[in-house]
Amino acid sequence: MSELRWDPIKLNWVIIATERRRRPRDFIVEDETAGTAACPFCYGNEDKTPPEIFAIRPSGLPNAANWRVRVIPNKYPALRVEGDLNNRGYGLYDVMNGIGAHEVIIETPDHNRSMADLTPAEITDVLTAYRTRYLDLRRDIRFRYMVIFKNHGTRAGATLSHSHSQLIAVPLLPPMAATELKVARTYFSEKERCIFCDLIAFELREGQRVVRDFANFVTLTPYASCSPFEVRLYPKRHSHDFALMNDAQLTELAVAMKDMLLRIKTVLNDAPYNFILHTAPPMHRRAGKPNHWNSLEYDYHWHIELVPRLTQVAGFEWGTGFYINPTSPEDAARFLREAEL
């Protein structure tokens, strides 16, 4: 059983997940699965994964080989759905059981196409799977936050090369989400405006960090980018919750996603990257605890953060939390704007 452990000096929870690797020799970096015969995410290998949780397929039985998108439990989950938290103290520390959910979204049956290569219609299917899983998991009141993210390339943490994203539900609000939500709440209570809406309006006026301005979505390089060629994708109209996007909106979002991924792939020669979907947490109440986030529809603004992995997180970043970025966001936006797709 994994554990969530509290560091009382750094003020952070860590997941000690011993399901997969433990011993020193287990850390030798493995080659990615090369062929389709061995790949558990390929057509025809459906029996090599745990049974699917959700899939998009024209018709037919679960786990049959005619799907377009497939969602399965992670075979080596960092957190498990079964059990209770058993939140307890230990000396100066705190610890609870590693309860949560860890799912894999297989984005395409084709081993050799990355997400940037998918059509907008195929990306719409992926986004639909995201929405479905969010809506389902937020009914479990143990989960305080869900994050969907993608690791593309070994250096970005992907252990299988077949295009996929992951969903992790955690029983605690993570520190970065807590900061964003608190900032947005404070800003709104002072100004009665969304800080993200103000930021988007400012960036659209300034223009130099805009990558692409669509009717209802916009991609920007953040003014204080931690690393080179970071991009954020925002809905231009205020919306706190990704899962409230309707089918037409997901179709438009897929076009903006494809554009963002293709620009990054083209300009950076298929560099490894991560993207992370930031959206409002579930708003259910817990016994004895007020829920501070029950009016997030005014404060928060969902978005997608993309981080190419071109530089290493080194001692300075580990030790301070400050980042050194050798490419200005203005230069990055220009290179991405001028990409020939």
| Residues with a known catalytic role | 164
User: Is 13 an interacting residue with respect to a copy of itself (CB under 8 A)?
Assistant: yes
Q: What DSSP letter does each residue of 242-260 carry, written as one string? A: GGG--HHHHHHHHHHHHHH
- What's the closest the beta carbon of residue 224 comes to a copy of itself, in angstroms? 4
- Near a copy of itself by CB under 8 A, which window of 18-26, 211-219, 252-260, 289-297? 18-26
> Tokens standing for 174?
């993570």
- What's the closest the beta carbon of residue 309 comes to a copy of itself, in angstroms? 8
- Distance CA(206)–CA(212), nearest Å, equals 13
Q: Site map for a copy of itself, 20-39, x if CB under 8 A?
A: xxxxxx-x------------
What residues from 130 to 149 belong to the interface with a copy of itself (CB under 8 A)? Answer: 145, 147, 149
What residues from 288 to 317 belong to the interface with a copy of itself (CB under 8 A)? Answer: 305, 307, 310-316
Q: Which long-range contacts (CB under 8 A, 24 or more apart) does 29-33 make?
A: 29/154, 30/159, 32/154, 32/158, 32/159, 32/160, 32/161, 33/160, 33/161, 33/162
> Tokens standing for 27?
């850390």
- What's the closest the beta carbon of residue 331 comes to a copy of itself, in angstroms? 6
Q: Site map for a copy of itself, 214-253, x if CB under 8 A?
A: --------xxxxx-xx------------------------
106 vs 170 by CB, closer to a copy of itself? 170
Q: Which helix (H) or strand (E) holds 264?
A: helix 247-267
- What's the closest the beta carbon of residue 178 comes to a copy of itself, in angstroms? 9
Q: What DSSP letter does each residue of 135-203 carry, written as one string? A: HHHTTSTT--EEEEEEEESGGGT-SS-S-EEEEEEESS--HHHHHHHHHHHHHHHHHSS-HHHHHHHHH
195 vs 296 by CB, closer to a copy of itself? 195
Residue with tokens 């997180």: 313
User: Is 184 an interacting residue with respect to a copy of itself (CB under 8 A)?
Assistant: yes
- Distance CA(168)–CA(145), nearest Å, equals 8
- Distance CA(179)–CA(132), nearest Å, equals 26
Q: What DSSP letter does each residue of 59-74 carry, written as one string? A: SS-TT-S--SEEEEE-
User: Is 199 an interacting residue with respect to a copy of itself (CB under 8 A)?
Assistant: yes
Instruction: Report the residue from 65, 135, 141, 176 that binds a copy of itself according to the rule CB under 8 A.
Output: 176
What residues from 257 to 276 belong to the interface with a copy of itself (CB under 8 A)? Answer: 267-269, 271, 274-276
What residues from 59 to 78 belong to the interface with a copy of itself (CB under 8 A)? Answer: 78
> Tokens standing for 170?
């955690």
User: Is 175 an interacting residue with respect to a copy of itself (CB under 8 A)?
Assistant: yes
- What's the closest the beta carbon of residue 334 comes to a copy of itself, in angstroms? 10
- Near a copy of itself by CB under 8 A, which window of 6-14, 33-41, 67-75, 282-290? 6-14
